Amino acid sequence: MSTEKKKAHPYKFILWVGLGSIIMLFAGLTSAYIVKKGQANWLDFELPVVFWYSTLVILLSSVTMQMALKKFKEREMGQYRGFITLTVILGLVFVVTQMMGFSALEANSIALTGPRSNSAGSFLLVIAGLHILHVLGGVIALAIIFLRAYSVKTKFYNALPVELASIYWHFVDILWIYLFVFLQFVG
Give 45 or 56: the residue with its C-beta nearer to another protein: 45
Q: Does 74 bind another protein (CB under 8 A)?
A: yes
Q: Contact with another protein (CB under 8 A): which of 103, 108, 113, 184?
A: 113
Q: Contact with another protein (CB under 8 A): which of 144, 160, 181, 186?
A: 160
Q: Widest CA span of the chain, in angstroms?
A: 63
Give 10 or 185: the residue with its C-beta nearer to another protein: 10
Give 5 or 150: the residue with its C-beta nearer to another protein: 5
- For another protein, the binding residues in 8-47 under the rule CB under 8 A are 8-11, 13-14, 17-18, 20-22, 24-29, 32, 35-36, 39-42
Amino acid code (one letter) for 147: L
Q: For residues 65 and 169, give the distance between their C-alpha atoms in angstroms, rounded to a whole number.
A: 8
Q: For residues 92 and 103, give the distance between their C-alpha atoms in angstroms, rounded to a whole number.
A: 17
Q: For residues 114 and 93, give the distance between their C-alpha atoms in angstroms, rounded to a whole number.
A: 27
Is 73 within 8 Å of 96 (Cβ atoms)?
A: no
Q: Contact with another protein (CB under 8 A): which of 59, 100, 130, 143?
A: 130
Q: Contact with another protein (CB under 8 A): which of 45, 73, 148, 184?
A: 73
Give 12 or 81: the residue with its C-beta nearer to another protein: 12
Q: Does 78 bind another protein (CB under 8 A)?
A: no
Give 7 or 150: the residue with its C-beta nearer to another protein: 7
State whether the Cα torsion 116-121-123-124 is positive or negative: negative
Q: For residues 95 and 91, give the distance between their C-alpha atoms in angstroms, rounded to a whole number.
A: 6
Nearest-5° angle of CA 39, CA 25, CA 17? Answer: 150
The set of residues, in sequence order, having a beta carbon less than 8 Å from that of 15 and lying 6+ positions away, is: 164, 167, 168
Q: Does 158 bind another protein (CB under 8 A)?
A: yes
Q: Applying CB under 8 A, which residues contact another protein?
A: 4-5, 7-11, 13-14, 17-18, 20-22, 24-29, 32, 35-36, 39-42, 73-75, 113-119, 122-123, 125-126, 130, 156-160
